[in-house]
């Protein structure tokens, strides 16, 4: 079973390495946040080459992640992992960057390109009734 989610990369936990019967391994947990009405944070465990891929993304990047959920039993307790197997960048999260179709503060001020909207707003007469 494979699932898909679009979420923002918010954190990465320290990389873990070790050696098992199949040789050396590398694992890193990443925290992503959904963009629903009520956002949820999800810890995903990337293994092997996928660790390098996730480390290449900037914090705040919007990713489309394909993943699977696996559960296993150990000593009578159950443990569940969310394991991504593919991630694609939907958009880079650069703080402070406005979307391309959003009007700039100059255009929002009636196309007055000589001064920013905040500076020009004080010179406009207040026409509010209260």
More confident residue, 49 or 130: 49
Q: Tell me what pLDDT residue 13 has.
A: 94
Rounded to the nearest 10°, the torsion over CA 66, 62, 79, 12 is 130
Q: Tell me what pLDDT residue 124 has.
A: 52
Tell which residue, 44, 50, 48, has the closest CA to residue 7.
Answer: 44
Backbone angles phi, psi at 2, to 5 degrees: -125, 135
C-beta of residue 25 within 8 angstroms of C-beta of residue 50: no
Q: Is the pTM of this model over 0.75?
A: no
pLDDT tens sequence across 68-119: 999 999 999 999 999 999 999 987 655 443 333 333 333 344 444 344 444 4
Start-to-end CA distance of the chain, whole Å, equals 60
CATH code for the structural domain at 3-91 = 2.40.50.140
Place 121 in a pLDDT band, splitting at 50, 70 and 90.
very low
Strand extents, DSSP E, the chain: 3-12, 16-20, 23-34, 41-47, 62-74, 77-91
Compute the distance between CA of residue 23 and CA of residue 67 in angstroms, rounded to an integer: 24
C-beta of residue 61 within 8 angstroms of C-beta of residue 92: yes
Domain locations in the chain as residue ranges: 3-91
Helix segments in 3-130, DSSP class H: 49-55, 117-121
Compute the distance between CA of residue 51 and CA of residue 46 in angstroms, rounded to an integer: 5
């Amino acid at each position: 079973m494979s699932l898909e989610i679009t979420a923002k990369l918010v954190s990465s936990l320290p990389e873990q390495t070790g050696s098992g019967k199949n040789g050396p391994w590398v694992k890193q947990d990443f925290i992503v946040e959904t963009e629903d009405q009520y956002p949820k944070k999800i810890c995903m465990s990337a293994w092997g080459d996928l660790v390098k891929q996730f480390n290449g993304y900037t914090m705040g990047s919007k990713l489309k992640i394909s993943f699977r959920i696996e559960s296993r039993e150990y000593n009578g307790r159950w443990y569940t992992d969310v394991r991504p197997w593919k991630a694609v960048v939907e958009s880079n999260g650069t703080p402070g960057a406005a979307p391309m179709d959003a009007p700039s503060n100059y255009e929002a001020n009636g196309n007055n390109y000589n001064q920013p909207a905040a500076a020009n707003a004080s010179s406009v007469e207040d026409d509010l009734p209260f």
